[in-house]
Amino acid sequence: MALERDVRFTLALSGTPWRTDGSCLPMLRYMAPSHEDASASEPSAPTLPSADSDRLALIPDFTYPLRDAIQDDVCRTPQIYLIDNDDIRLVAEQQAQRETLYYQSIPALLRHPGVHYAALLRHPGPQQHLLDVSCQRLRQLQEKDPTAAGLVVASNISHAEDIADCLKQMGQTVCLVTSQTEGAHARLEAFRYGHTSWIVSVNMVSEGIDIPRLQVCCYLSHVRTEQYFRQVLGRIIRRRHAQDDACYFYALNESTLRHYAYRLFDDLPDEHAAIQLDPFSSPTTPAPIVYPATDSIASNDPGTSGELPTIEMHGAPHAQAPMSECVSLSEGIREMTLDLANDVAFSNAFLARLVSL
């Protein structure tokens, strides 16, 4: 506000002009929605962030939406695949008793208090399937453009290291870049102009990095904000030539991510704004195997319990896609086993504390 008192013109640029907490951005104009139509062309006084920010509408002087960028051949058309399954079995163990529950989608499974999205991302079944279908897509793209590459966004550094090892075991060339990587920026530059197929990172490639040969993204991050979702998608959306008119984004069918995908769908040009259910065949996977719960995953992510559950999903392709195409989890994605005793004990203690307060 001090700048605006002394400066006649201000140029403010933003690719994601909102904050997740709803507060106002500095040096921009906001108005109440009811006055937007009548006063949109009139400048308003600067507005400080406040508790009422969610009721204000940002009034930009100029916008360049994704719809225009696609029509101008600046951006690729995003194809978003949300992985789901319609036959999921959950085996919960509590005080030496086993209870089997059945779910017809991943969102339904995630409503169970013992199943957390962050832990599901690290489960070997869903993670491996997401990597399989992403690699399959990248191989198809590399038949036409050998320099095409993919991005995997992990939840934390240990998760990124596990994913990089998994991709290498699949025969893929991988560049791992995290905040702890020595010479990280030099690695990014080498990847930008090289022929390595995959780059695996946590946050270092989410924004401010321009690698146009990235065309596939496998989203295995536990972060579920619209700003981060669009920033990551922005890494694979910039066009290089006439033949790379599409990019491909793979994630689990989680309710919040699906909502963001539908909002993005509203920004697409009319000729691309159609939902097409076009599942492609999934890679062959082994028969279901029951794995015991272990303490092998890091528990510093929100929602992880320190145990790696096992899961089983048998269903056929499940039609849950926000735009363009969809794909489902293949057979053999494991049986999930949970020990709820600790969760129940914690809940009882928490409720007792609430009553005492």
What pLDDT does 299 receive? 31
Pick from 326, 335, 332: nearest CA to 133:
326
Calculate what percentage of the chain has a pLDDT beyond 70: 70
What pLDDT does 337 receive? 47
User: Is the pLDDT confidence value at 169 over 80?
Assistant: yes
Summarize pLDDT for 37-64 with one digit per residue, the tens.
444 444 443 343 443 445 677 888 888 8
The enclosing H or E element of 50 equals: none
User: Is the pLDDT confidence value at 200 over 90?
Assistant: yes
User: Is the pLDDT confidence value at 154 over 90?
Assistant: yes
R_g of the chain, CA atoms, integer Å: 23
pLDDT band at 344 (very low <50, low <70, confident <90, very high): low
Burial class (CB in 10 A: 0-12, 13-18, 19+), 214: buried
- What lies within 8 Å, CB to CB, of 183 at 6+ separation is none
| 113-117, 173-177, 310-314: which is most confident | 173-177
Summarize pLDDT for 212-266 with one digit per residue, the tens.
999 999 999 999 988 889 989 999 999 988 888 899 999 999 999 999 988 888 7
Our CA dihedral for 295, 301, 305, 310, rounded to 10 degrees, sits at: -70
Summarize pLDDT for 70-98 with one digit per residue, the tens.
989 999 999 999 988 888 888 877 777 78
What pLDDT does 49 receive? 42
Summarize pLDDT for 15-30 with one digit per residue, the tens.
777 777 777 777 777 8
Instruction: Give the whole-angstrom CA distance, residue 207 versus residue 212.
Output: 13
- DSSP letter (8 states) at residue 8: S
pTM, two decimal places: 0.73
Pick from 220, 233, 256: nearest CA to 77:
233
Instruction: Give the whole-angstrom CA distance, residue 340 versus residue 344.
Output: 6
Summarize pLDDT for 115-135 with one digit per residue, the tens.
899 989 988 888 999 999 999
What phi, psi does 217 have (nearest 5°)? -130, 135
Say which residue, 323 or 270, is predicted with more confidence: 270
Instruction: Give the whole-angstrom CA distance, residue 155 versus residue 12.
Output: 31
H/E/C letters for each residue in 119-177?
Answer: HHHCCHHHHHHHHHHHHHHHHHHHCCCCCCEEEEECCCHHHHHHHHHHHHHCCCCEEEC
